[in-house]
Structure formats: C-alpha cells, structure tokens
Chains A and B, each alone.
Chain A
Amino acid sequence: MSAYFPTMGLEIHAELLTKSKVFCTCSAEFGGTPNSRCCPVCSGLPGTLPVLNRKAVEYIIKAGYVMNCEISRFTKWDRKNYFYPDLPKAYQISQMPRPVCLSGNVKINVNGAEKNIRINRIHLEEDAGKLVHDDVNRISLADYNRCGVPLIEIVTEPDFHSADEVIAFIEKIKLLLQYAGICDCKMEQGSIRCDVNISIAPKGSNELGTRTELKNLNSLKAISRAIEAEIERQEELLDNGERVIQQTRRFNEQLGETTAMRSKEDAHDYRYFPDPDIPPIIFTEEELEEIRRSIPELPEQRVERYVNEYGIKKADADIIVGNKTICDFFDEAIAEYNNPKAVANYIIGELMNRINRGEADMENLNFGGAEFAQLVEFMQTDKISQANAKTILREMIENGGSPKDIADRDDLWIKEDSGAIALVVDEIIANNPKAVEQYKKGDQKVFGFFMGQANKALKGAASPKAIQEYIRSKLEGNS
C-alpha cells in the first residue's frame, strides 16, 4: 500500500458543434485543406475585428445547465496575450474574471459508488491553429483552419483521487456534451482534450502537495496511464526525500512516462485584460430560460424513458445510452419497428458483439437503424430464421443493403412449404426409431433432438413453429 494519496483536478477543452467559428463566419468543421477555412478575421489580418457568434454563447450556457452551473447574467471577454505561430493575433480571446458558467457539479459512478465532482467554472474561448513540422525540410507550416473554432474550457475542483474517477468523469462529460448537442467529443480528432493537475500528499495530511500539470493526453487510455506514471514518479521523488517541482509535463505514450515541458519559472505572464473589441453580454431571465428549454433529452432521462416506457432492463438501457451513436441508432430502429425490447436485445446481443470483436465500426456502419429494425422484425414474425438473420447481418455489415434485398437475393426466407417439412421430418423419424420410442415413453427432451435435426436439414426455410407442429403431430399421431 502506498503511503500517499493523489489529488487531481481537470481542465477539459471541448470544441463546440457550431457551424461557424466563434468570431467570424468561416466553417468550424474539422479538417479541410490547410488554410482553406480561414478569412481575414480568423487569420488575424491587421484591421479586422471579431464579432461574437451568439450560437456559441448558447452552447456554453447549455453546457453550464447540464453541469448544474450558475449562469452569469453578465459576462465578458478578455485577451490572453502570448506569442506562438499557431496564434495569428498573438492573443487568444478568452474569459478571465467573468466566465459564462460558475460552480456546478456532476455525479459520477465509480465501481458502483456515486461521487459528486464540483465544477469550478466553464468559459468560452477560441481555439488556436495547428503547426505541421516537416523534419525532412526542417520547416514548420501553420494551418489556421482551426483558428477561431469555439472552445469551452471546463475547470473542475481538485475532487479526484484515482485514475478511475478521472476516466469515469470524462466519460460522463462526453455523454452529457454529446447528448446536449454541444460537442461531438472525438478525442482522436482533438475535439475534446484533457489536462490533468496532479499532486500527492501523505495519507492523513490535510494539505495538498505541489502539483504538476499533464498535457498532451490523446485518449482515455493515455490519461489513465499518464496519471499512474505521474503518481509513481511523484511517490519516488518523495520517498527519496526530493521535492516535486511545479511544472507542466508531457506524456510520452511510447515510453509510458511523463517528461518536463516547462517549469513555473518559465510560465507566461498572459497580461489578461478586457477585450475592447467585444462588448460584454447581459442575459435576461427569458433568454436563459429559452436556452435551458432547448436542451435535448440527456442520458439519465433517456435511460429512465427506456426503462419506464419500453420496459427495457436498466442494465440494458445503460449499455445503449452509454454510446450516443448506438442510442440514436436504437431510436431510429424503434421508429421503424416498435418493439423496443427485441431491438435492444438484438443490438446488445448481436450487433455490439460484432462491434466488440472488431467486425463492425459503429461510427461507419453501412446501414441505418431502420434496416436493422426490419431484420429484427423479420425474425420476430418468423419470416427469417435466427441463423439466416445472422448471415444477413454479416452481409449488411460487410456490404450494406436492406435485409429484404439480401434475403431475396440469397433465398433466405422461411417458405412454410409443408411438403418440404413433411419430407424432411418423415425421413428423420424413419431413421431414428429409438428416439421415437424414447419420446413415446415420455422423454420430452428428445423432442429437441428432432427440432435440431429438422432445422439443420431445412436451412431456415421453415419457421420453428411450423416444424414443431409437424413433428408433434407426427410423433403423437403415431401413438
């Protein structure tokens, strides 16, 4: 057991899903040919002025509400001054003393226990551009497409004491932001990014130790590993009688260790001051209420709806809601075929299995919820056998297409051809007199044997019900 306990706080940056950038009308979409999504304003040409995108303000207010924050009635913007080639104005428009959202809280579940994480503040700012380093030609190139994409920065209180808590919180924040339509939270594209402030102190101590800040964390796995590595590093330092130095550290994924980027002494003096180009905003109660009312259904409300209205098990509802893409897929499916339980079962039992095995990618499925629902319906109404449904699903995953077309093309329908059933079953009965004997003596279990044999021979061309009825009539008719 370690003699120390860690304390962590997070700074999460999330890019907003607005169509245009926060201070100009350029597209805020990810990617694009370098420098194709910028204009005189976001590339910081002399004489240009920022004009605030009100949509971005709406989004951050929504973020504040879903994290139970107080929304400031008066908010303003400040300039954070520093030189860097990805920042064409040499200042970032951000918020210092008057952020839009203050003091909220978010509940998380860690290993079955509920915990409350306090939010210190959420503010709105602009993203910087991107630098591309060409080591061969020894040059660096700047891409300003991301300049001015609206960002919110969520700052938590130091309420975390394990990597598991941090991961649970980020997952919860991702869900909240996705469901509220605020951010797509694609960590691999950098639309959500997380810095971790971390310190350790001897167990029982009331004071926090010196903290370091971990940056450059590109996945949940990296965050978890970086935290473990940094705790270990700090423990070693203290065990050896050394001090932790307040500094910013970068996580090296290959080495699995953190390395120093800059210390407190090198820290910038950002010379914050109110941005004279952007007038402060005063919100009325009516405006805030309207924004609050426009927040879509959140994860917890969806789980509740699925359990109460659809009779889905809480555990299953949690699984579906735990991934917004799957959840939207589910909603789309039950709009096509109103049998939520059957659809949920087939998503969890069949589709998610294949996703987990890497056979399918939920973000790039070749078919929609409606097609999936048709397949479930065919199965539920005995038009397609379970075995053939699996074949069709595999085909849909690989090449797309509707279940009807695939079943037509590959002849996978249940045909209810009584002649074919009779032919097959009669033969099985004729070939297995011993089993017939057993059944007649009252061994019901042997019925399953006949079913299995018949199913196999009929290859899904008849419904189990029809086969069952015929077998029963034969066995019992002979008695």
Chain B
Amino acid sequence: MDIKRTNIRALRKALDSKEISAAELCGEYFKRIEDADPRLLSYITVTKEKALQDAEKAQAVINAGNSAPLTGIPLAVKDNICIDGVRTTCASKMLENFIPPYNAAVIEKLNAQGYVLLGKTSMDEFAMGGSTQTSAFAKTRNPYDLERVPGGSSGGSAAAVAAGLAPAALGSDTGGSIRQPASFCGVTGIKPTYGRVSRYGLVAFASSLDQIGPIANDARDCALLLNAICGHDRHDATSANVDTPDFSEKIGKPISGLKIALPKEFFSDAVEPAVKQHVLDASKELEKRGAVLVDCSMPGLKYAVPAYYLIACAEAASNLSRFDGIKYGFRGEGRTYEELIRDSRSRGFGEEVKRRILLGNYALSSGYYDAYYKKALALKQEIIKEYNDIFGIADVILTPTAPTPAYKIGEQDNDPVKMYMADICTVTVNIAKLPAVSTTCGYTENGLPVGMSIIGRRFDETTVLQVADEWENGFAPISPKL
C-alpha cells in the first residue's frame, strides 16, 4: 500500500476491509521513517514497540467490527504534549529525559478511539520559533527542499505529514505554530478556537494563546481529528463548555453567498508578491464558486506582533520558571539553590528561549508593567474589536498564512525582530481566540508550497473547514520528492 499522502479516510477503509492490518500499516510508516527521517529529522522519539502493542489492541477492535474513526490509525504527536511513559522533551535539553506520569487530555481522547502512536515530532524549543531550528535534538528540514526550514514551531509534525512519515499529526499553535509550518510544508492545519480543545497536558508556552490542533493532508482529515480531540475538560478551566458539532457537517455544501473578507493590511508590501498573488488568485476562484469577496481594513494589525510578543513572553517567563533543575529535567551544578538554578537554566535552555524569558520578565517588572504588558492587553482588546467589526460584514477572512514561503536554514538566525515580524499574518488569530485553517493555495517557481489562511468566528470551525475543503476540491497538491 502506498502510504504517501494517503488520507485517514482511505486508511480507515483499508483497515476495515482487512486490506491491511493495523500492525502492517504502522509498519509501513516505520519503514518510511527509517528511510526518510535521517534526512528529514522530523521525529525526536519513535515509539515502535508501543505502536505494535497499540496496533494489536486496535486490530481486535477492528476485527470485532467496532472501529471508531481513528481505531488503528497511526498518528504522530508534537513533543510538547504529554504521554504517560513516553519521553516528552519539548525539544529542549531541559527536558531531555522527562517522562510524564500522565496523559494529556487529547491523548486520553485518542486512546479512547484506539489510535496508534508513531512517535513524538520535533519542534522549536518549547514551541518558541517558526523554523524548528531551535530544537535541541532534531532540526527538521523542509521535505520540498532540504536546505530550507519546515516552518515552526510544529515543523516536525508538518514535515512528517507532508513527506508521508505520518498520515496526520497533532501540533500546537500559540502564534501560528500549526498554520505556518502547514503552509511551508504544503499540508493542511487548523488552530481551533481557544477553549475548543483541552490544554491539559500541553506543556505551556503562553497559556492564554496556546491551542492544540491537527495537521493533516486535507481539511476533511482535520475535521475528523478535531472531532476526536475537542470538547470540554474539567482539568482545564479555560476549556469551553460549549456544544461540539460534527466538524465535517458543512463539508461538501456549496459556499454560494458566503462572504469572504480580505483585509488590505494582510496584503501589504511586507508580503512577498508571489505569495500575495497566489492568495488573491485563490480568492477569485472561490468567488467563481459563489463566494462574495468583501474589502475591509484592520488598522490594528501593525501593533499585533509587538502586542503578541509581550503577552506571549510574559506568560512564558512565568510558565517556564518551574524548570529549575530541582524536581525533574536537566540539573546543572552549584553549591547553593541560587547557583544550582542559575546553572540549570543557563545550560538547559537554548538562546531563543532565554531571550523570551528575559523579554517577558522585563515586561512584567515593576515600573514597566503599565508601559508594556498592560498596553499589550489594551491592544488585544482593540484587535478583538476590529475582528468583531469584520465579522459583522463577512463570514470568514482570507489571508496569506506567512509573508514568504519556506526560507533557507540560517537565513533569519541573526535577526530576531525580522523573524518575529514573519508572524504578522498569524498572531492576531491567537490574540482574538479565533479558529483558522491553513491550506495550500499554490507553489512558487521553485516548487515551494504557499499557504492561505481562512479565519472564522469563534467556535465556527465548521465554516472555515467547509471553505478550505471547497478550495482543496479543485486543487491538485504536488507531493515532495523526498
């Protein structure tokens, strides 16, 4: 069976019709991992032994005719989501040998369906970055061009799905960490509404922005995975106690009359012309299929990146304080408590993580709080208001996912501000707690994928998935050569 870019529905059919067994299926993926991952570097940990056990259990369920949508389906999980007994590193030396004694809420839900874990995928250290090059263990490459980054921070998940090393994967998105790597690797990823998926067991980067979501071959698989992991969780006070629809319920329904807004600030000169053109072309195509394009403006966008980095770093500084070398993880040396934590944190964290911790602590310090953190919260309210205004005249918003396609490894290393500005198209969605899906809308002359994002109203994942699926129906994806 050719597993490259095979979607979950096809795998389901193959499993249920006994064309392939669950063990054979995950075996195919491990073969592919052994073959391609030494070049791709998408996994930090491969859980072959556990997978074969899980597959056996799943097979019994399949044989009994009791398959759930994900029974026996192999999946990869980003390495910041805790799995009982499986090393969870956050791609940091700090947690190199950390084995959680508990499961994240999403893992409990996947277990209930009998999924099969392939392994834990690489990422930027503690999800801080957009290139997966800050990973302490596996600096993942882009399957379309191994000289280029896969995006990040969920770069391992996106690259693995794109290159057929997993049919789908979980990622997490704090400021674009699902959507941007999905865009760079030519796959589909959705950041759900904040509160849609429990964060319990996701190692926190910025608690008010983090959200777990799927990365898959298409919007339909994203809907299927989101159906599995969503829902209120009593272990997460920020998880929303709202009804959960079938996220594929609108898939296949016509989009005629649907209003798509194109805020002009997302199409400024900061965005590469080729990227802009692909997204605008896609909008015209959607218009042809019945959608109504709406011009609009989002003046607050120019403040979005600074506001985002102040909030995210402030929360991160506090969230990452627990890594002190005392209880678990990397332990440095020192004669006193102060010396010990100083050494543990100096050597356990990478440069980008330390930069953000410093930035966050600075923003929260007495005397600076009002000027930075408080102002960022005011900007957050402004951005929410501007989104509300747009959703008063449109059903979804269409934007580029990133200003550029995948860039060369090392290209942005010396300019953190430039790197932060590359998040301009994605961060407002997290600030406003909205759902957004990124799907491929074209390829550059070099054959690099270009992604576009469809942003929806809070808790309206069904519509953004409907639009993404409508687009994907007329689009022929090009697989990477790897």
Q: Which residues of A contact B (CB under 8 A)?
A: 40, 43-52, 79, 81, 83-85, 88-91, 142, 269, 271-273, 276-279
Given known pairs A90-B322, A269-B365, the reply for A276 and B208 (CB within 8 Å) is yes
CA distance A252 to B445 in the complex (A): 77
CA distance A46 to B200 in the complex (A): 10
Give the 5 A-B residue pairs with the shortest CB-CB distance, closest first: A90-B321, A276-B208, A271-B364, A276-B207, A46-B203
Q: List 9 A-B contacts (CB under 8 A).
A: A46-B95, A47-B80, A47-B200, A49-B235, A81-B317, A271-B318, A271-B364, A273-B364, A277-B238
CA distance A44 to B328 in the complex (A): 10
Chain B residues, Cβ within 8 Å of A51: 234-237
- Please tell me if the beta carbons of B327 and A52 are within 8 angstroms of each other in the complex: no
Indicate with 1 or 0, residue by residue over B132-153, a CB within 8 angstroms of chain A CB atoms.
0000000000000000000000
CA distance A84 to B338 in the complex (A): 9
- Please tell me if the beta carbons of A89 and B321 are within 8 angstroms of each other in the complex: yes
Interface-facing stretch out of B98-106, B221-229, B273-281? B98-106
- Please tell me if the beta carbons of B201 and A47 are within 8 angstroms of each other in the complex: yes
CA distance A456 to B350 in the complex (A): 90
Within the complex, the shortest CB–CB distance from B61 to chain A, in Å, comes to 28
- Please tell me if the beta carbons of B237 and A43 are within 8 angstroms of each other in the complex: no
Given known pairs A273-B318, A276-B207, the reply for A48 and B373 (CB within 8 Å) is no
Within the complex, the shortest CB–CB distance from B328 to chain A, in Å, comes to 7
Given known pairs A269-B365, A271-B361, the reply for A45 and B100 (CB within 8 Å) is yes
Q: Known pairs A47-B80, A47-B204, A273-B314; list 13 more (Cβ under 8 Å).
A: A45-B82, A47-B104, A50-B237, A51-B236, A79-B318, A88-B322, A271-B318, A273-B364, A276-B206, A276-B207, A276-B238, A277-B238, A278-B237
Identity of the chain B residue whose Cβ is nearest the Cβ of A81 in the assembled complex: B318
Identity of the chain A residue whose Cβ is nearest the Cβ of B338 in the assembled complex: A83
- Please tell me if the beta carbons of B100 and A47 are within 8 angstroms of each other in the complex: yes
Given known pairs A45-B328, A279-B238, the reply for A40 and B101 (CB within 8 Å) is yes
CA distance A81 to B357 in the complex (A): 13
Within the complex, the shortest CB–CB distance from B10 to chain A, in Å, comes to 33
Chain A residues, Cβ within 8 Å of B98: 46
CA distance A45 to B234 in the complex (A): 18
Chain A residues, Cβ within 8 Å of B102: 40, 45, 48
Partner of A85, one of B206, B237, B318, B326: B326
Chain B residues, Cβ within 8 Å of A44: 322, 327
Q: Which B218-250 residues sit within 8 Å CB-CB of chain A?
A: 234-238
Q: Chain A contact residues: over half helix, strand or loop, or mixed?
A: loop
Tell whether B90 is near chain A: CB-to-CB under 8 Å: yes
CA distance A40 to B102 in the complex (A): 8
- Please tell me if the beta carbons of A277 and B237 are within 8 angstroms of each other in the complex: yes
CA distance A285 to B255 in the complex (A): 47
Partner of A83, one of B80, B88, B324, B369: B324
Partner of A46, one of B82, B208, B337: B82
Within the complex, the shortest CB–CB distance from B458 to chain A, in Å, comes to 15
Partner of B337, one of A49, A81, A85, A273: A85
Tell whether B199 is near chain A: CB-to-CB under 8 Å: yes
CA distance A157 to B177 in the complex (A): 49
Within the complex, the shortest CB–CB distance from A24 to chain B, in Å, comes to 9
Chain A residues, Cβ within 8 Å of B125: none
Q: Which B308-337 residues sit within 8 Å CB-CB of chain A?
A: 314-315, 317-318, 321-324, 326-328, 337
Within the complex, the shortest CB–CB distance from A444 to chain B, in Å, comes to 80
CA distance A279 to B241 in the complex (A): 13
- Please tell me if the beta carbons of A91 and B237 are within 8 angstroms of each other in the complex: no
Within the complex, the shortest CB–CB distance from A129 to chain B, in Å, comes to 11
- Please tell me if the beta carbons of A48 and B101 are within 8 angstroms of each other in the complex: no
Within the complex, the shortest CB–CB distance from B417 to chain A, in Å, comes to 24
Chain B residues, Cβ within 8 Å of A50: 237
Within the complex, the shortest CB–CB distance from B289 to chain A, in Å, comes to 40
Question: How many cross-chain pairs have Cβ atoms below 8 Å apart between A and B?
Answer: 99
Given known pairs A46-B100, A52-B237, A91-B318, the reply for A273 and B82 (CB within 8 Å) is no
Chain A residues, Cβ within 8 Å of B365: 269, 271
Identity of the chain A residue whose Cβ is nearest the Cβ of B341 in the assembled complex: A83
- Please tell me if the beta carbons of B236 and A49 are within 8 angstroms of each other in the complex: yes
Interface size class of B (residues with CB under 8 A): 35 or more
Q: Which B347-379 residues sit within 8 Å CB-CB of chain A?
A: 361, 364-366, 369, 373
CA distance A233 to B6 in the complex (A): 80
CA distance A46 to B327 in the complex (A): 11
Identity of the chain B residue whose Cβ is nearest the Cβ of A52 in the assembled complex: B237
Partner of B322, one of A89, A276, A277: A89
Identity of the chain B residue whose Cβ is nearest the Cβ of A46 in the assembled complex: B203
Chain B residues, Cβ within 8 Å of A278: 237
Chain A residues, Cβ within 8 Å of B315: 273, 276
Within the complex, the shortest CB–CB distance from B85 to chain A, in Å, comes to 13
Within the complex, the shortest CB–CB distance from B453 to chain A, in Å, comes to 24
Tell whether B424 is near chain A: CB-to-CB under 8 Å: no
Chain A residues, Cβ within 8 Å of B235: 49, 51
CA distance A40 to B206 in the complex (A): 19
Chain A residues, Cβ within 8 Å of B366: 269, 271
Within the complex, the shortest CB–CB distance from B370 to chain A, in Å, comes to 12
Of A52, A91, A142, chain B has the most CB atoms within 10 Å of the CB of A91
CA distance A51 to B198 in the complex (A): 13
Tell whether B86 is near chain A: CB-to-CB under 8 Å: no
Within the complex, the shortest CB–CB distance from B461 to chain A, in Å, comes to 21
Tell whether B202 is near chain A: CB-to-CB under 8 Å: yes
CA distance A156 to B238 in the complex (A): 34
CA distance A43 to B102 in the complex (A): 13
Within the complex, the shortest CB–CB distance from A275 to chain B, in Å, comes to 8
Chain B residues, Cβ within 8 Å of A84: 337
Chain B residues, Cβ within 8 Å of A269: 365-366
- Please tell me if the beta carbons of A47 and B82 are within 8 angstroms of each other in the complex: yes
CA distance A208 to B225 in the complex (A): 65
CA distance A449 to B242 in the complex (A): 88
CA distance A273 to B199 in the complex (A): 20
CA distance A142 to B328 in the complex (A): 13
CA distance A276 to B315 in the complex (A): 8
Within the complex, the shortest CB–CB distance from A245 to chain B, in Å, comes to 20
Within the complex, the shortest CB–CB distance from A138 to chain B, in Å, comes to 10
Given known pairs A49-B199, A273-B373, the reply for A88 and B104 (CB within 8 Å) is no
Identity of the chain B residue whose Cβ is nearest the Cβ of A48 in the assembled complex: B200
CA distance A279 to B202 in the complex (A): 18
CA distance A226 to B448 in the complex (A): 74
CA distance A369 to B321 in the complex (A): 52
- Please tell me if the beta carbons of B208 and A88 are within 8 angstroms of each other in the complex: no
Within the complex, the shortest CB–CB distance from B44 to chain A, in Å, comes to 15
- Please tell me if the beta carbons of B82 and A81 are within 8 angstroms of each other in the complex: no
Of A44, A47, A83, A269, chain B has the most CB atoms within 10 Å of the CB of A47
CA distance A83 to B147 in the complex (A): 42
Within the complex, the shortest CB–CB distance from A82 to chain B, in Å, comes to 9
CA distance A83 to B339 in the complex (A): 12
CA distance A192 to B354 in the complex (A): 39
Chain A residues, Cβ within 8 Å of B327: 43-44, 88, 142
CA distance A49 to B202 in the complex (A): 9
Within the complex, the shortest CB–CB distance from A271 to chain B, in Å, comes to 4
Within the complex, the shortest CB–CB distance from B321 to chain A, in Å, comes to 3
CA distance A291 to B95 in the complex (A): 45
Within the complex, the shortest CB–CB distance from B229 to chain A, in Å, comes to 15
CA distance A271 to B373 in the complex (A): 11
Partner of B321, one of A49, A85, A91, A273: A91
Chain B residues, Cβ within 8 Å of A49: 199-200, 235-238
Chain B residues, Cβ within 8 Å of A46: 82, 88, 90, 95, 98, 100, 203-204, 322-323
Identity of the chain B residue whose Cβ is nearest the Cβ of A84 in the assembled complex: B337
Chain B residues, Cβ within 8 Å of A40: 100-102
Chain B residues, Cβ within 8 Å of A90: 318, 321-322, 324
Within the complex, the shortest CB–CB distance from A270 to chain B, in Å, comes to 8
CA distance A43 to B327 in the complex (A): 9
CA distance A91 to B204 in the complex (A): 14
Chain A residues, Cβ within 8 Å of B208: 276
Identity of the chain A residue whose Cβ is nearest the Cβ of B367 in the assembled complex: A269
Chain B residues, Cβ within 8 Å of A85: 324, 326, 337
